Chain A
Amino acid sequence: EAQVTQNPRYLITVTGKKLTVTCSQNMNHEYMSWYRQDPGLGLRQIYYSMNVEVTDKGDVPEGYKVSRKEKRNFPLILESPSPNQTSLYFCASRRGPLNYYGYTFGSGTRLTVV
């Protein structure tokens, strides 16, 4: 089944403790992206990647890092999480160069930073 898989689905952590949210897609998509969803703010892009070793900042990149060492994986790294990073996170991938194809989203990771 074609899908984007994120892990973990739920995570509660403490301020300052480094964490990684993994994302993997099995569709051989070149384009991948991370979004966060917050009440009243919709979905905002954190980082995106056009291919292996090619990444760039989205609208809200502060406090996050990403890497794209393999085509299928695009982990999101929080080096020193803070409570304002409590959010619902989505990884997404896309098959083509144009947004006309639409992103395929993972099921989400609900992160709580206390």
Chain B
Amino acid sequence: DQQVKQNSPSLSVQEGRISILNCDYTNSMFDYFLWYKKYPAEGPTFLISISSIKDKNEDGRFTVFLNKSAKHLSLHIVPSQPGDSAVYFCAASGSGSGGSNYKLTFGKGTLLTVNP
């Protein structure tokens, strides 16, 4: 049972345009959502997160939007740069007891390619 879904395995955009990466989740107990970026031969790098009490969080070129009713979040990168080319993972966790806030459930990732 896949609780965090990234339905697009890959996305290609032109440099300077907007990149939109999507993520859906099924577990209504998830309270925190995070995006990670991963280059080949490196570990994932934390990008940005959002709490379920918010619907938007911005950090420079990166903005994450959360639609709780639709159980959907998206990562917007504006403007996209060739250095943004990487695999992007969406992840989610709960905040309750029983270890749920220690566990990150990841999606399968989306490969973003930004063309010069």
Contacts from A to B (Cβ < 8 Å): 4, 31, 33, 35, 40-45, 48, 50, 56, 58-59, 90, 92, 97-108
- Stretch binding the partner chain, chosen from B12-20, B73-81, B104-112: B104-112
**A42 and B102 contacting across the interface, CB-CB below 8 Å:** no
Residue of B nearest to A102 (CB): B46
Residues of B within 8 A of A92 (CB): 43
A102-B36 Cα distance, complex, nearest whole Å: 9
Residues of B within 8 A of A97 (CB): 101
Q: How many residues of B contact A (CB 8 A)?
A: 25
Whether, in the assembled complex, B60 has its beta carbon less than 8 Å from a beta carbon of chain A, the answer is no
**B43 and A106 contacting across the interface, CB-CB below 8 Å:** yes
In the complex, how many residue pairs between chain A and chain B have their CB atoms under 8 Å apart?
72
Q: C-beta contact mask, B25-49 vs A, less than 8 Å → 1, else 0?
A: 0000000101010000111111001
A-B contact pairs, 22 of them (CB 8 A): A4-B43, A31-B102, A42-B106, A42-B107, A42-B109, A43-B89, A43-B106, A45-B105, A48-B99, A48-B103, A58-B103, A90-B44, A92-B43, A98-B95, A99-B32, A99-B34, A99-B91, A102-B34, A102-B46, A104-B46, A105-B44, A107-B42
Contacts from B to A (Cβ < 8 Å): 32, 34, 36, 41-46, 49, 51, 89, 91, 93, 95, 99, 101-109
Residues of A within 8 A of B108 (CB): 40-42
Other A-B pairs beyond A42-B89, A43-B89, A45-B103, 13, CB < 8 Å: A33-B103, A41-B108, A42-B109, A45-B104, A45-B105, A56-B102, A90-B44, A92-B43, A99-B32, A102-B36, A105-B43, A106-B43, A108-B42
